Amino acid sequence: MPLLGDHGLNVSAHVLRDEIFSVSRRGVLSGYLPMKIWFALLAAAAICRAENLEQTYAPYGRLLITPFASAPFPHPSRAAGHQYKDKFFPAETHYCDNSVALFIPKGFRETPRVDVVVYFHGWGSSIESTLRRFQLIEQFTASGKNAVLVFPEGPKHASDSAGGKLEDPEGFKRFVNEVTATLRRQAGGQSSAEEIGRVILAGHSGAYKVMAAILDRGGLPERVREVWLFDALYAETDKFLAWWDREQGRLLNIYTENGGTKRNSETWMERLKQRGTPFLFTSDTAVTAAELKSGRLIFLSTDLGHNDVVEKRKTFGEFLKTSCLDDR
């Protein structure tokens, strides 16, 4: 794929990937290439990563990684980057990636409406690192559920919970419309659905903020049937509870001893007790599949570490297997 033709260059994406890493290591970027070419190099490196990931997960189904106009970033709220404590995260390296991953598992059956699981990563992560570390695609495929996994890039390798465009009013509605349009256009005939069906929101750690915003003002609260918080209840409890009160969906909250979400989880349970709202409280090792399937409000304590709650006991997969989604 030729790139940078206006500078008289015709370089493959793989060569550019090697070049960008070489330039970064030498630490002489500012005097080496014009900024325009630097951004083109970033784009080329992103294309290479996407191609590699798509090949890696081909045995499980079809992975598409493509730019979305409605993706969280870029967004005016992070146009100047973001400062967290003593570390600054520049916009050009942390808030300019508008990639969205769409995964269609093998055996997917086309239906009039397409059900989706929308996953959001936490701090210091990206689509690529999260897919590899938490084995989302492997768990998704093993669940046997007939749905599409949707994974937008968030603040990339940054200490930040911002949701960009998905925190804007009806931002999630625009995003979902682009999901269905992209599937019709790029999924190779695997999905021609005009409409989204059931939506499950799932996220780890700092993902709570964008998930709460989607429930509060995303424009499709009635389509969201389940919400899964993986050690993520740091704040916004009122928004999660307001959605549950309106929609009576299934909300699963797994929290760790030292991840920073235990106090909010316990406070929420106490509040539910006081108002007489039934819920299930148990551990992730004691809960049964029947309880997960029938429960509406479920709080799971775990002895796992903060970064182990999604994959180590295949909890993401267990939540999928007991979800409202149809089997393939």
Break the chain into its structural domains and give their ranges: 1-56, 60-321
DSSP β-bridge partners for residue 88: 83
> Domain 60-321, what fold?
Rossmann fold (3.40.50)
Asked if 93 and 187 count as a contact pair (C-beta separation under 8 A), the reply is no
Which tokens is 87 given?
A: 């570390």
Q: Which of 15-19, 97-101, 140-144, 214-218 has the lowest mean pLDDT?
A: 15-19
Which tokens is 23 given?
A: 């330039």
Distance CA 301, CA 318 (A): 15
Average pLDDT, the chain: 89
Amino acid 8: pLDDT: 33
**Burial level of 211, CB count in 10 A (0-12/13-18/19+)?**
buried
Tell me if residue 42 falls in helix, strand or coil.
helix
Across residues 8-26, what is the average pLDDT?
42
Matching residue, tokens 């990684």: 65
Position 34 pLDDT exceeds 70: no
Q: Angle 80-218-141 (CA atoms, 0-180°, nearest 5)?
A: 95
pTM: 0.86
E-strand ranges in 110-194 read 113-120, 148-152
Amino acid 311: pLDDT: 98
Asked if 297 and 277 count as a contact pair (C-beta separation under 8 A), the reply is yes
Handedness of CA 235, 121, 118, 200 (dihedral sign): negative
Neighbours of 208 (CB within 10 A): 28
Amino acid 189: pLDDT: 63
**Helix and strand totals (H; E) in the chain:** 11, 11
Neighbours of 276 (CB within 10 A): 6
DSSP 324: S
Q: How confident is the model at residue 136 (pLDDT cuts 50, 70, 90)?
A: very high
Per-residue pLDDT tens digits for 154-203: 999 999 999 999 999 999 999 999 999 999 988 766 677 779 999 999 99
Amino acid 188: pLDDT: 65
| Parallel, antiparallel or unpaired: strands 82-84 and 87-89 | antiparallel
Position 26 pLDDT exceeds 50: no
Position 41 pLDDT exceeds 80: no
| Parallel, antiparallel or unpaired: strands 148-152 and 113-120 | parallel
Per-residue pLDDT tens digits for 255-311: 999 999 999 999 999 999 999 999 999 999 999 999 999 999 999 999 999 999 999
Amino acid 187: pLDDT: 76
